Amino acid sequence: MRIPNNILMFAGQDNLAVYKMFGDYWNHYRSMNGKEGLEYQTHDGEGNSISFSEKEELMNAALRREIVRKAGIVGFDEFPLEQWATHPTLTWATFAVVSALIDMIIPDTIIDTIGMYTEVRTIGWGDSAAFDIKPRDLFVVGKAGRAQRSSEVHKQFDGQMTVVPEMHQITVQVSMYKVLSGLESLAEFVTKMVRSLETQITVDTYNVFNTAMEALPSTATTGLQVSGYTQASLVRLAQQVTAWNGGAKAIVCGTQLALVNVLPDDANYRYFLESDFAKIGYVRTAFGLDVLALPQVADRTTPFGTVLDNSNLYILSPSSQKLVKLVFEGSTLSNTTGTFANANLTQNATIWKSYGAAIATNAVAGIITL
């Protein structure tokens, strides 16, 4: 897992072990929750197998050491734990480390869910991201007379799309005493924060993408939006998208439920239990087109609902240009209340993350509404 430059500066080259350790812990967590193909350690340095719960204990201990180091505290064992729990610098260091871990994990993680149609860029605080949109049109070639010096003059101009990030927040309650004493898992806390941000960023970005796709023109023979799946309509759209993207090959993507429909029009076909259709629920290659599934996302606003539209097939050319631009502004910030601000001696911790997403592309895409 790549460590961003701001994390390198925050931790220092000699203190990256805990951040690499958390990357391994995160991959192990995701693997346990169904993500395939991730690399993580299954043995400790002495060759003994290590379980996830054991790794979590080691992770929490390493995080506490890093927090104490960033707080500049020496002689941690010389005072009772309850005294350190009221130390303002220790509170700051705790959430500074949490913010750094979030910044390290989020960019890498969201690529798995929205990377098919999204390009990610990080800018500094107070900046906005400007994307140059080059014309997709070619110059007109016409017949000319033998004594004709020139034809109609053409000149193209680049457009520009600006993405301005907006601030987003998560506020939670935490007991510093329990965190420092190990009664509450800081590693689990950071994991929940990362999952929360990842889910919301995915939802916001997908909504931008899907809204634009559902607004595409739907003329009978040349439109980029088709109502109702047929083999011919899929092939026609794929040809259009490939041709208008300069030859960049189109692919078909959608949720697993949507991709079930990508089958030949002729119903007289058979599939074996060992086939892709039986094993993964859809055909990986259809009519010369690669077929890729977008992971479904839970809709936390509706009990047991999902976000991605199961009735849409998207035809994209990912190798040409990503349709959506996602911009992160600066690093993750944190803000905590005082130790004794609440009657139950918990502290309110707010995590700030600024990001924005918009359509900024000259690429062409298509959609089939099932």
Tens digits of residue pLDDT in 285-297: 989 999 999 999 9
* 94 domain-assigned: yes
Q: Is the per-residue pLDDT at 2 higher than 80? A: no
Q: What is the pLDDT of residue 69?
A: 85
Q: Mean pLDDT score of the chain, rounded to an integer?
A: 86
* 320 domain-assigned: no
* 311 domain-assigned: no
Please state the rounded mean pLDDT for residues 50-66. 88
- Helix, coil or strand: residue 80: coil
Tell me how crowded residue 102 is: count the other CB atoms within 10 A of its CB: 21
Distance of CA 74 to the CA centre of its chain: 39
Tell me how crowded residue 51 is: count the other CB atoms within 10 A of its CB: 10
The total domain count for the chain is 1
Distance, CA of 69 to CA of 16 (rounded, Å)? 13
* Contact (Cβ atoms closer than 8 angstroms) between residue 354 and residue 329: yes
pLDDT tier at 77, thresholds 50, 70, 90: low
Exposed (0-12), middle (13-18) or buried (19+): which is 26, by Cβ within 10 Å? buried
Reported as a single tens digit per residue, the pLDDT across 141-156 is: 888 888 888 888 888 8
* 250 domain-assigned: no
Q: What is the pLDDT of residue 78?
A: 61
pLDDT tier at 240, thresholds 50, 70, 90: very high
Reported as a single tens digit per residue, the pLDDT across 256-266 is: 999 999 988 87
For 60, 286, 311, 360, the CA distances from 236, given in Å and listed in that order, are 55, 13, 19, 25
* 87 domain-assigned: yes
Q: What is the pLDDT of residue 342?
A: 75
Q: Is the per-residue pLDDT at 44 higher than 80? A: no
Q: Is the per-residue pLDDT at 81 higher than 80? A: no
In terms of residue numbers, what domain contains 347? 5-111+164-207+335-352
- Helix, coil or strand: residue 88: helix
Alpha helices in 160-230 (DSSP H): 176-181, 186-214
* 117 domain-assigned: no
Distance, CA of 154 to CA of 140 (rounded, Å)? 8
